[in-house]
Every structure is written in structure tokens, then in C-alpha cells.
Chains A and B, each alone.
Chain A
């Protein structure tokens, strides 16, 4: 089945700097890769996603890149702000296997003022 790894587990950056979180997946049939942000005690919220037929997607300060050959995808946050502090989860979904989402273990991002 699918296995998703995520690094780093914790990340501290200064306000205004960039943050990068990386994920790898194992199932080459995975074709949809969402990223979720979860603040303490709250629900995971979808912040950006990418499909396997696209290499990069950007939404204001957030971007995601996908390398299908290497089976890894990354979240990039530029000009970080204190409100970006949260736990970020990547996920992968293979339409051909189980049809469920497999999540990475999460990255706790702290943006220091």
C-alpha cells in the first residue's frame, strides 16, 4: 500500500523567511496530493493541492511542487507570518488502490516574530 513520509517533523523560522516541507510517497499510481494546515484543537484545512499532471501550483504565498519521477512533493511558504504557525500534513491518494488518502506524520511549523 501507499506510504507517505514527511520531513522535517519540526521547523522553526523567523518571520519573513521561507519554509519548505518535503514529502515522499511510495505508490507510483498516486495522482492527487493535498496539503492541510491544522491549528491546535481545530480541524485540518485544505490549503493547496496538486494533481499528478501538474508540476507546480502557486497560491499567493504558498506553492507546491511535484516530482513524479522521484515520487516527492514539497510545500513552500514564503514571507512567513506568525499565523502560519501550525501543523502541516501532506497526503497522497491513489485512485487505483483503496481510494483512500494516506497522510504524512505532520510538520510542526513555528514562525518566530
Chain B
């Protein structure tokens, strides 16, 4: 009964370092979404991926951020040369195979702190 898994749950990085956030979708789910949530704010869409394919990255910053969802293994959100403004909770969500009305289920999130 494994839900969406994310690791690490907490990540501390110094300015200029790289952050790698991992997301394993629910069993049977092939779609992954990444969101960023700043303290006391809402969920901001970043990117939507299927296996080996980026479907929509309209919410991704143009620089330093990238995401992938390989054929094998978890989806990874990578943030290069982190800055203090990257500190936030990053949630991924997964959903099953295509359909107009599919639900998405969230992981527990990774809380990134940039010092």
C-alpha cells in the first residue's frame, strides 16, 4: 500500500550547491507532477512528466532547474547552484495512465533549506 514516496524529506544545502529531489510514484502510476510551495503560500506547478518524456514544463524556471523521469527509477528534480530563494517545500504528485479526469496523489514533500 505504498503511496507516493519522496526523499529526502529534509535537505539542507549551502548557496551554490546542487539539490536533488527524488519522487517515486504510486504503483501503477506513470505520470508525475512537481510543485513548489513557499511558506504560507499555495502550490505552484513546476513540471509534468511521463516516463522518459516531459509533457509540460511551463512552470519551471528557465535556469538552474531540470526534471527527469527515466524509464527505470524515480523522477528527479534537480536544482543547480541553489540560492536562498529556492528554500521551499517541493511536492510531487502522481496519477495513473491517461484520462481526462484522473486524480493526483501527493507525496510527503521535501523541505529544502538553503543556507
Residues of A within 8 A of B (CB): 1, 31-32, 34, 36, 42-46, 49, 51, 89, 95, 98-106
Contact = CB atoms under 8 A, between A and B. Distances in A.
B105 A46 contact: yes
B66 to A, nearest CB: 17
A2 to B, nearest CB: 10
A32 B45 contact: no
B29 to A, nearest CB: 14
A83 to B, nearest CB: 19
Given A43-B91, A43-B106, A99 B45 contact: no
Contacts of A34: 103-104
A51 B103 CA distance: 11
- The bracket for how many chain B residues form the interface is 20 to 34
Contacts of A89: 42-43
Contact of A43 (B33, B42, B55, B109): B109
Given A31-B100, A31-B101, A95-B100, A100 B91 contact: no
Nearest to A42: B108
B45 A103 contact: yes
A88 to B, nearest CB: 11
A98 B33 CA distance: 12
Query: What 10 A-B pairs come out closest when comparing CB atoms?
Result: A43-B106, A103-B43, A105-B42, A95-B100, A98-B56, A106-B42, A100-B45, A44-B106, A32-B101, A100-B48
B107 interface: yes
B70 interface: no
A44 B35 CA distance: 11
A98 B43 contact: no
Interface string B82-104: 00000000010000000011011
A32 B100 contact: yes
